[in-house]
Amino acid sequence: MIEKGSDILYAASLLSKGGLVAFPTETVYGLGANAFDPVAVARIFEVKQRPSFDPLIVHISDIEQIELLFEKPINPLVYELAKKFWPGPLTIVHTKNSHVPDIVTSGLSTVAVRMPLHPVALNLIRAAKTPVAAPSANRFGRISPTRPSHVIKQLSGIDYLLTGNAGSVGIESTVVSAHKGYCKLLRPGGISAHDIEQVCPCKLPNTENFENSELPSPGLLTSHYAPNKPIYIVPKNQLANLPEGSGVILHSKKAFIDARRVVYTSENQNLTEVAANLFMAMHIMEDDNTIQQIYIEPVSETGLGIAIMDRVKKAAFKYK
Ligand code: TXA
Ligand code: MG
């Protein structure tokens, strides 16, 4: 049984003592530990069954805290990106200083940092008086959680779960590394490359030829975010004569589909709504014992649709 509640000061005191706290953010639920406590961070990897080569994001509540994490001189681009997108779903990767434990970064010379836009997350980090290392609070490879019940279903060995729902974004942050005058997109997410282009040029990585310190985010693994039953990507106009026990995830309410269960992420293909409800829809289908296989319609791969389809394709990777 995971203890849960809304006591932020208690949660912060647990973090100070090496505890693990699950907390809501505007993207997905995080599983946090004091970023400067390597033993506590090691427990995150254990609880998530996460491979040790996959580095964590460190969460901060105030921009000054980047000086506790990033090696100086800090690239001015970091401040420009932070000013425009923080608090919010952008994670910035930059050379780390020697105080950041290697276990946080899986031995990389860089560390990933973001300031979340969720009052519970911000108040927790402030009360803990330390940056908080936190991956998404799911078991490795499985669907990301946006509700307390999603965390409880997948994980045990957590000291406390702060109640609340993940906020309006619903899919993980965009991860970029800050270079001199441009940034490189390491994982698509809640902020589109187009939005980042308003601040600086944004390059897509060459996945075959990463510089040493710049691994593609393991978010780039081909299979990830997956429900525990088959899921297929099928356009809506081909969703006919489905087998028994089919669940269908649609992004607009326009057509009638004959299936055991239909879940809508949006009424009219609104990509912000689709992102906010995507993981929720997958969890509903996973939890419904009458559903044997899931069909999901694609969205167009523009703007936020790129990050949405990234998650959908990884969920469906094994079932082409
Ligand atoms: O929205 C989010 O980002 C959520 C919430 C909880 O903040 N967190 C999240 O964490 O999605 P996680 O661990 O599921 O994904 C972190 C991603 C991984 O793909 C990891 O490889 C990448 O960030 N990452 C972390 N440090 C990195 C680094 N130094 N260089 C490149 N990629 C890094
Ligand atoms: Mg994750």
C-alpha 211/C-alpha 305 separation (Å) is 28
Nearest to 75 by CA among 207, 163, 179: 179
Average pLDDT, integer, range 128-149: 96
Residues written for the chain:
320
C-alpha 230/C-alpha 101 separation (Å) is 38
Q: Is 15 in the pocket of ligand 1 (CB under 6 A)?
A: no
**For ligand 1, atom 22, which residue shows the shortest CA distance?**
217
Average pLDDT, integer, range 215-231: 75
Nearest to 191 by CA among 114, 266, 139, 268: 114
Q: Between the CA of residue 27 and those of 3, 96, 118, 162, 172, what are the distances in Å?
A: 22, 24, 9, 15, 5
Average pLDDT, integer, range 7-33: 98
Cβ-Cβ contacts under 8 Å for 10 (sequence gap 6 or more): 160
Q: What number does the ligand 1 atom closest to the CA of 96 have?
A: 29
Query: Counting beta carbons within 10 angstroms of the beta carbon of residue 97, is it exposed (0 to 12), middle (13 to 18) or buried (19 or more)?
Result: middle
Q: What amino acid is encoded at 42 in this protein?
A: A
Average pLDDT, integer, range 10-16: 98
Q: Is 188 in the pocket of ligand 1 (CB under 6 A)?
A: no
Nearest to 78 by CA among 65, 99, 97, 93: 93
Contact yes or no for 142/135 (Cβ under 8 A): no
Average pLDDT, integer, range 17-26: 98
- Residues 37-62: tens digit of each pLDDT: 999 999 999 999 998 889 999 999 99
Three-state secondary structure call for residue 95: strand
Q: For position 210, what pLDDT does the model report?
A: 45
- Residues 166-199: tens digit of each pLDDT: 889 999 999 999 988 899 999 999 999 999 999 9
Pocket residue to mutate for ligand 1, from 23, 85, 177, 217, most atoms within 8 A of Cβ: 217
Pocket residue to mutate for ligand 1, from 117, 172, 311, most atoms within 8 A of Cβ: 172
Q: How far is the CA of 84 from the centre of ligand 2 (A)?
A: 24
* Angle formed at CA 251 by CA 91 and CA 121, multiple of 5 degrees: 30
Which helix (H) or strand (E) segment holds residue 153: the answer is helix 148-154
Q: Is 215 in the pocket of ligand 1 (CB under 6 A)?
A: yes
**pLDDT tier for residue 220 given thresholds of 50, 70 and 90:** low
C-alpha 159/C-alpha 267 separation (Å) is 38
In this structure, what is the dihedral angle of CA atoms 167, 139, 302, 257, given to the nearest 10 degrees? -90
Average pLDDT, integer, range 79-93: 98
Q: Is 144 in the pocket of ligand 1 (CB under 6 A)?
A: no
Contact yes or no for 188/167 (Cβ under 8 A): no
Q: Is 28 in the pocket of ligand 1 (CB under 6 A)?
A: yes
Count CB atoms within 10 A of the CB of residue 203. Answer: 14
Q: For position 296, what pLDDT does the model report?
A: 98
- Residues 61-85: tens digit of each pLDDT: 999 999 999 999 999 999 999 999 9
